[in-house]
Amino acid sequence: MTTHVRTERLVLRDWSLDDVDAYAAIIADPEVMRFIGDGKPRDRSQAEAFVRTMMSHQNTRGWMRFAIEHAASGRLMGFSGFDDKDGYLDFGWRLGRDFWGGGYGFEACSAALWVGRTTFGLTGILAQSYPENAGSIRIMEKMGMSHVSEKQVDGRTLVVYGFPEDDPDGIHE
């Protein structure tokens, strides 16, 4: 299993089927899923499908939404990393509630960005969030992203953020 990077407190690594139970517990939590898609918790079969998709990506192109492991305990904390959408790379993150509020989100996302850029040469990275997800938007800002646009999905507004260095024409507001 590939370890992509270690930080002071975290390990960003590949996924394995051993992660399914811990990931299922994370996405069964309504608070974690509150600002994601329809806001509903997900079940174990959805967790397993996600982990299998990540394993497929790591075996083919190497990058995906990297698994985040708590270095001291070995626990799976969630993910941070990239997904290919229509013509752009979506940068996303999700941590179990046990790990909120201690700076892990920013630490994990900064590390994932470093891996994406340095190891895999990724460009054209965007992130999106519901505007009321203040923690997520703060992580975008702290990573140096700026507001690009807004879009409507199922009648709700999403804000889209990007990196100025990915946008030489300067479309940012």
Ligand X SMILES: CC(C)(COP(=O)(O)OP(=O)(O)OC[C@H]1O[C@@H](n2cnc3c(N)ncnc32)[C@H](O)[C@@H]1OP(=O)(O)O)[C@@H](O)C(=O)NCCC(=O)NCCS
Residue type, 75: R
Binding test (CB under 6 A) with ligand X, winner from 61, 138, 151, 156 = 138
The distance of closest approach from Cβ of residue 59 to ligand X in the complex, given in angstroms and rounded to an integer, is 25
Residue with Cβ nearer ligand X (103 or 144): 103
The distance of closest approach from Cβ of residue 87 to ligand X in the complex, given in angstroms and rounded to an integer, is 19
User: How far is CA 132 from its chain centroid?
Assistant: 17
Tell me if 133 contacts ligand X by CB under 6 A: yes
Residues in the chain: 173
The distance of closest approach from Cβ of residue 141 to ligand X in the complex, given in angstroms and rounded to an integer, is 8
Q: Angle 98-99-103 (CA atoms, 0-180°, nearest 5)?
A: 155
The stretch near ligand X (CB under 6 A) out of 52-60, 65-73, 91-99, 148-156 is: 91-99
Tell me if 35 contacts ligand X by CB under 6 A: yes
Tell me if 23 contacts ligand X by CB under 6 A: no
Residue with Cβ nearer ligand X (20 or 159): 159
Please tell me the distance from the alpha carbon of residue 112 to that of residue 156, in angstroms, as a whole number.
Answer: 28
Residue with tokens 């975290």, as numbered in its chain = 10
Binding test (CB under 6 A) with ligand X, winner from 23, 47, 57, 105 = 105
Residue with tokens 């752009």, as numbered in its chain = 88
Label the pairing between strands 76-85 and 65-70: antiparallel
CB atoms within 10 A of CB 6: 13
Question: What residue ranges bind ligand X (CB under 6 A)?
Answer: 32, 35-36, 93-95, 100-106, 129, 133-136, 138-139
